[in-house]
């Protein structure tokens, strides 16, 4: 019975669309035997992209499929929003592609750029509104110029460290539930306004009764459910896109989230990782990692030392404090080169919101949900990769990537290989977009890499993401810096 009702709704919708197209044809032809095909196709494309059509079509689709994947209630409403936005973006690209196919003279590079921007804005607005795994997906995607055009990279960048916080009443209840005491009983003082808010948690500054300054990281109460819902829906959307447009492969984003989000949701893992990196870098006075307080920390609550500093990309504040941006860039690259090529442990989420600078300079590393050990085989492969890059050895570079776990689908050419290495080792293709090309080349780069390369291992993706973020920060601090020269001695 339900299936019959759904089929009837879809028939009514299809009839309405056909009727509208017939009316459009009549208006555009004005009774003539030779209509204006350009105007007609544009009108039909506008119809296909209309919100009314998209809401109706997406609603029917979600009604048929979403309840098989996620529970009803809030999860279903999130599914509906996600499906609608995905449909909007997909139909936008499809109709523009049809215009380009049948009437190429009417579609300019600027049209693609506008479509990219419109779609990126929709993604940004949706992620900022819904939060959850969507923020993590956008953060990861915004560091992958091999997957998305440069417009997306620029538009989604604010999601790296600027998120709206939850209310104090919600946070207070979460702390009470985790510790069995109200925050005012545990802390001598705690600020109600957070010092930072992210996708899965926010941080409040507090002081213990012994006078110790601490940061209190509180996980959002409903985040596990939201993350599970988002991942399920995202996977369905990505699979649908892959079936409809095989050249677009976004599965690496979902794979990455499925492997990394469980780590980030368990603050006990973060506490252990923070301690491991703190121990590994104990010999360096220019690196600071907070120590956590075990008796006040749980799976969903993490209390640690509060360490202040200047945001690493705030050049003006750095210079006012007498700190050289050039020296900060040198320290940044040296510190991460040692982690990658010598210590075998990596703070894999070095976006600007997680890095602070003190005079010296000294670098403060925050948020260790993605601090991970690196397999000795990967460390050795990364060393060989740097050595090969340093001497311009094409064959050595290919061997090093293979040793790192990369599988090539076909014989790779030099251009594709260098583009891939650029993605993995921080050569930010999106930093200087060609405004006249409309980012079509960026899409082509991603597709070419996708043809040549199979699945990229998660640990290598983490390394690539970290280095891409580091490269972006370095370009802001000192665009002329030769990072390869700085890191090369760790590969010897």
Token pair 């990229």 is at which residue? 456
Cis amide bond preceding 457, omega within 30: no
Residue of 300, 302, 323, 298 lying closest to 313 (CA atoms): 323
The conformational region for residue 125 under phi > 0 = left, psi -120 to 50 = alpha, else beta, is: alpha
Residue 394: its H or E element: helix 394-403
CB 234 within 8 A of CB 327: no
Mark out the alpha helices in 105-222 (DSSP H runs).
109-130, 133-141, 150-156, 168-179, 183-186
| Cα–Cα dist 60/150, whole Å | 33
**Residue from 161, 470, 479 nearest 331 by CA:** 470
DSSP letter for 302, please. Answer: E
CA distances from 92 to 4, 8, 35, 213 (A): 30, 26, 24, 51
Q: Rounded to whole angstroms, what are the CA distances from 402 to 138, 384, 423, 451?
A: 28, 11, 16, 16
Contact indicator for 341, 382 with CB cutoff of 8 Å: yes
Q: Are 452 and 408 in contact (CB under 8 A)?
A: yes
Omega cis (within 30) before 361 = yes
Helix, strand, coil percentages (3-state) for the chain, rounded to 5, are 65, 10, 25
Please classify residue 437 by burial: count the beta carbons closer than 10 Å to its beta carbon, then call 0-12 exposed, 13-18 middle and 19+ buried: middle
At what angle are helices 223-244 and 51-69 packed, to 10 degrees?
110
Catalytic residue among 88, 334, 349, 459: 349
Tokens 């810096």 — which residue? 481
Is residue 458 within 8 Å of residue 259, measured between CB atoms?
yes
Catalytic: 349? yes
| DSSP sequence for 413-471 | PHHHHHHHHHHHTT--GGGS--TTTTTHHHHHHHHHHHHHB-PPPHHHHHHHHHHHHHH
> What does the alpha-carbon distance between residue 354 and residue 90 come to, in Å, rounded to a whole number?
34
Closest listed residue to residue 80, CA positions, set 292, 247, 233: 233
Q: Are 63 and 6 in contact, with CB atoms under 8 Å apart?
A: yes
Active-site residue set: 349
């Amino acid at each position: 019975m339900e299936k019959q009702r759904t089929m009837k709704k879809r028939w009514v919708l299809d009839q309405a669309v056909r009727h509208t197209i017939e009316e459009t044809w009549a208006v555009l032809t004005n009774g003539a035997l030779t209509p204006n095909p350009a105007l007609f196709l544009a009108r039909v494309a506008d119809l296909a992209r209309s919100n009314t059509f998209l809401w109706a079509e997406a609603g029917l689709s979600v009604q048929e499929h979403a309840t098989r994947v996620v529970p009803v209630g809030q999860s279903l409403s999130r599914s509906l929003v996600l499906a609608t936005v995905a449909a909007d973006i997909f139909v936008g690209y499809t109709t523009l592609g049809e215009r380009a196919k049948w009437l190429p003279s009417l579609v300019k590079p600027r049209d693609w750029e506008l479509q990219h921007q419109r779609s990126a804005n929709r993604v940004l607005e949706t992620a900022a509104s819904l939060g959850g795994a969507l923020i993590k997906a956008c953060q990861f995607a915004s560091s992958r110029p091999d997957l998305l055009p440069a417009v997306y990279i620029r538009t989604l960048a604010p999601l790296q460290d600027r998120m709206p916080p939850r209310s104090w009443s919600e946070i207070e209840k979460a702390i009470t539930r985790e510790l069995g005491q109200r925050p005012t009983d545990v802390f001598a003082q705690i600020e109600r306004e957070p010092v930072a808010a992210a996708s899965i948690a926010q941080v409040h500054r507090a002081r213990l009764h012994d006078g110790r300054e601490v940061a209190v990281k509180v996980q959002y109460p409903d985040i596990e459910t939201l993350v599970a819902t988002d991942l399920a829906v995202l996977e369905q959307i990505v699979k649908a896109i892959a079936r409809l447009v095989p050249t677009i492969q976004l599965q690496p984003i979902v794979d990455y989230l499925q492997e990394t989000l469980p780590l980030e949701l368990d603050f006990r893992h973060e506490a252990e990782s923070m301690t491991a990196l703190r121990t590994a870098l104990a010999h360096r006075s220019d690196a600071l990692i907070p120590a956590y307080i075990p008796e006040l920390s749980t799976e969903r609550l993490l209390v640690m030392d509060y360490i202040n500093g200047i945001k690493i990309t705030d050049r003006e504040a750095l210079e006012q404090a007498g700190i050289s941006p050039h020296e900060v860039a040198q320290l940044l690259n040296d510190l991460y080169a040692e982690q990658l090529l010598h210590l075998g442990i990596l703070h894999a989420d070095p976006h600007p919101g997680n890095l602070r600078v003190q005079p010296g300079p000294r670098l403060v590393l925050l948020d260790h949900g993605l601090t991970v050990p690196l397999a000795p085989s990967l460390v050795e492969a990364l060393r060989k990769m740097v050595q090969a890059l340093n001497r311009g050895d094409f064959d050595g570079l290919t061997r090093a990537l293979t040793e790192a776990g990369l599988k090539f689908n076909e014989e790779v050419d030099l251009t594709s290989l260098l583009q891939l290495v650029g993605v993995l080792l921080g050569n930010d293709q999106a930093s200087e977009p060609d405004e006249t090309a409309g980012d079509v080349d960026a899409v082509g780069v991603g597709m070419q890499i996708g043809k040549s390369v199979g699945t990229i291992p998660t640990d290598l993706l983490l390394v690539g993401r970290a280095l891409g973020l580091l490269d972006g920060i370095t370009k802001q601090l000192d665009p002329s810096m030769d990072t390869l020269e700085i890191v090369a001695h760790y590969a010897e």
